[in-house]
Structure 1
């Protein structure tokens, strides 16, 4: 689970931001669900306030772990505040396989300046540090790192798995795997459209290979459209001779000879659910992190808490998966409460953010709606129209 992450000089955040998932003893039990770390965080704010930039930081860790060790790379896909020359700094503190890690990196578009991995048992200890293309600090179990050549554009996390090092610890592999399980609809340039990342044929093949995932999706779609009681995945051979998969949605209570629909007969919202829920299922199954920008697009407001509660309910979230999202829906704040809501604002082109429980005020209480306070502009993060 992510405990906290942040960045400095990253996109519109000049002085930086820190997002904490940690919950203290003051958090009510119906919010914490007995966890010391939240499984959901919602990010609110006006258009262009910087909400998506926060999510980009998480996608950037996936990028560092899996998409930098590429031949002929000439730059790193990172943006500083108004493209200034100072380095960008990012960090993430997380726990995986019962081990707590902190990963820090400083870089520019031209090179990685510093990369440090800390491991915490009884205390936080640096186990590997890289300054530019040199390993400057390492524990004895990582002596084989001396055998590899680092590149200015490739992270350690993405470089090491490409070498067959016989005597090396499991920490880099653990971090590599964890960063690979940060998925969603956010890329280097912002939110990706459904058409860019979701395909009903690929989703159908996923469901064909995973009947449990199909059952999961059918239950949720049935809540959205009770007439749909069953989804079958069929296959056919296309004109190229390839096998492709497609869904049929059955309405078993319809008393006609035709009681089924194709995906093209469905609303945009139901189509979106069918495709997007593959990622929800995958993250819940692996204990990963789902990063969704405007996750409410095409979806009815009353469906949103159902999706959020997939992560708060221990029955559906047994692997401590996490969900961080942005949304323009207002009422979702009341569902999240002040401990799980981040507000983002911007002044003179610079973004800043804060968790609602950081506001020193008795106005915000867990037993009162927060949305009215937000609507009235008492909490910040609203458009200045």
Structure 2
């Protein structure tokens, strides 16, 4: 499902080369995302990227037309509390939309409702998103179940104007604006019940519909636990010295990862490529070698200083990245391509378990790339889940950027921000609180209860 965000080829480690989607849009920012009846979420919840009326870190707030938007949001919660499902909900909306073009009329949709009560399992899932494309805000959403689209809608709001409805669909009944969405006229009857109308109109070169799909192509997901889906893009960036390569190297040096340079070359696959790297049965190894023989792969090496007995630099050594570097260093290298591509083009980057394998200072440094207007001049946004409580500091994040997930007694997940949270006396959290200490002590919920 989510793997459609990339196309595949080969790398030296995983034999998968991934092309990160590049759709060039200006001022493409997420405003908010609302979802209901998805996995552990039974009730309607909203993740908002709109800045609240608070003063901390106001230099990080991104001003787009009349909107004040946040460059980052972070999810905290106990294991199995549903924080990853917030990210997955957004990417599932993306996947259902972008995958709609490939559906046959009888194909089923990816449908994962809340299954722990008597009604939700048979009720539709609902997604709605609001985002900016240049100076226009779009509000697009749909309700669906396993077999069909129950409802679909699209609104637009230009600067200084009220919001207008472009179309509304309820099952197979359509209301299409002749003046504001003429590209949809006459196409209603050609839309199968399991197909999204925006997808069909975009396929037929509808300009606004294509822009909607373009926005979703600028919203990408990474797993912090597995680089298989994006390492190839990073290695290609370094091999071809693409934009972002210089900034990534500067970041490596700034965070003192320990190597001097990253050298990436393209070479033909040979048996020596996997010698000593992959612990697999000989029969499978032979088959793999046969299938990949002669194909191009990317090889990554790092350079390090070589020292004499007095501790002076006597030369430079070149080493295989995978054999020489730590797991955390390899992760930073592999994530650098998507990170700096996102910053350069003003995209939205979603990362689950960002902190996995990373020192807390490295995680903070990645966050600061998005929080600092100098390194994020194009309004890129980072949304991630983490267990790193060191970031729970109002010197690094605003109260409206910190989100918590917690399950209630019916095992349905709640989602709330620190700015929204009120204590037992109904008082909101002040900006002088020790948020990390309060969180560990259970003040905000969203932690495991251990016997």
Is the TM-score greater than 0.5? yes
Aligned to 2:275: none
Structure 1 residues 268, 192: CA separation in 2 closer, same or farther (over 3 Å shift)? Answer: closer
Structure 1 residues 192, 365: CA separation in 2 closer, same or farther (over 3 Å shift)? Answer: closer
Work out which of the two has the higher radius of gyration on C-alpha atoms and give 1 or 2: 2
Aligned to 2:274: none
Q: Please identify, of 144-153 and 258-267, the stretch whose mean Cα deviation from structure 2 is larger.
A: 144-153
Aligned to 1:11: 39
Aligned to 2:250: 219
Q: Unaligned stretches of 5+ in structure 2? A: 1-28, 271-292, 308-312
Aligned to 1:151: 192
Aligned to 2:51: 23
CA contact (8 A) 1:343 1:355 kept: yes
Q: Please identify, of 345-354 and 27-36, the stretch whose mean Cα deviation from structure 2 is larger.
A: 27-36
Aligned to 2:269: 238
TM score, norm. by length of structure 2: 0.77
Show the 5 A alignment for 1:162-201. Answer: 162-163=203-204, 165=205, 168=206, 170-185=207-222, 193-199=225-231, 201=232
Deviation at 1:300, TM superposition (A): 0.4
CA contact (8 A) 1:64 1:158 kept: no
Structure 1 residues 363, 355: CA separation in 2 closer, same or farther (over 3 Å shift)? Answer: closer
State the Cα deviation string for residues 62-115 of structure 1 (Å, max 9, x = none).
213311221436111121110611111111111112110111211111111111
Aligned to 1:369: 434
State the Cα deviation string for residues 152-185 of structure 1 (Å, max 9, x = none).
222233222322x4xx4x3212211111111012
CA contact (8 A) 2:178 2:185 kept: no
TM score, norm. by length of structure 1: 0.90
Q: Unaligned stretches of 5+ in structure 1? A: 186-190
Deviation at 1:55, TM superposition (A): 0.5
- 1:341 counterpart = 2:402: yes
- 1:329 counterpart = 2:388: yes
Deviation at 1:379, TM superposition (A): 0.9
Structure 1 residues 134, 193: CA separation in 2 closer, same or farther (over 3 Å shift)? Answer: farther
Deviation at 1:363, TM superposition (A): 7.2
Q: Please identify, of 241-250 and 320-329, the stretch whose mean Cα deviation from structure 2 is larger.
A: 241-250
Deviation at 1:373, TM superposition (A): 0.3
Aligned to 1:132: 171
Deviation at 1:268, TM superposition (A): 0.6
State the Cα deviation string for residues 234-279 of structure 1 (Å, max 9, x = none).
2222253333322221224753555222111111111111111211
Structure 1 residues 108, 177: CA separation in 2 closer, same or farther (over 3 Å shift)? Answer: same
What secondary structure does 1:140 align onto? coil
Show the 5 A alignment for 1:6-155. Answer: 6-30=34-58, 32-33=60-61, 35=63, 36-72=68-104, 74-82=107-115, 84-121=121-158, 122-140=161-179, 142-148=181-187, 149-155=190-196
1-side partners of 2:234 and 2:155: how far apart? Answer: 38
Deviation at 1:11, TM superposition (A): 1.3
Aligned residues: 375
Deviation at 1:210, TM superposition (A): 4.0
2-side partners of 1:196 and 1:208: how far apart? Answer: 18
Aligned to 1:188: none
Structure 1 residues 258, 209: CA separation in 2 closer, same or farther (over 3 Å shift)? Answer: closer
Show the 5 A alignment for 1:292-307. Answer: 292-307=351-366
CA contact (8 A) 2:141 2:153 kept: yes
Aligned to 2:240: 209
Deviation at 1:59, TM superposition (A): 0.5
What secondary structure does 2:122 align onto? coil
Deviation at 1:134, TM superposition (A): 4.2
Structure 1 residues 376, 364: CA separation in 2 closer, same or farther (over 3 Å shift)? Answer: same
2-side partners of 1:210 and 1:98: how far apart? Answer: 33
Deviation at 1:219, TM superposition (A): 2.2
1-side partners of 2:148 and 2:100: how far apart? Answer: 11
2-side partners of 1:10 and 1:301: how far apart? Answer: 31
Structure 1 residues 141, 373: CA separation in 2 closer, same or farther (over 3 Å shift)? Answer: closer
Q: Please identify, of 344-353 and 333-342, the stretch whose mean Cα deviation from structure 2 is larger.
A: 333-342
1:262 to 314, 320, 324: 320
User: What value does the CA root-mean-square deviation take over the aligned residues?
Assistant: 2.2
2-side partners of 1:195 and 1:315: how far apart? Answer: 27
CA contact (8 A) 1:58 1:182 kept: no
2-side partners of 1:206 and 1:241: how far apart? Answer: 22
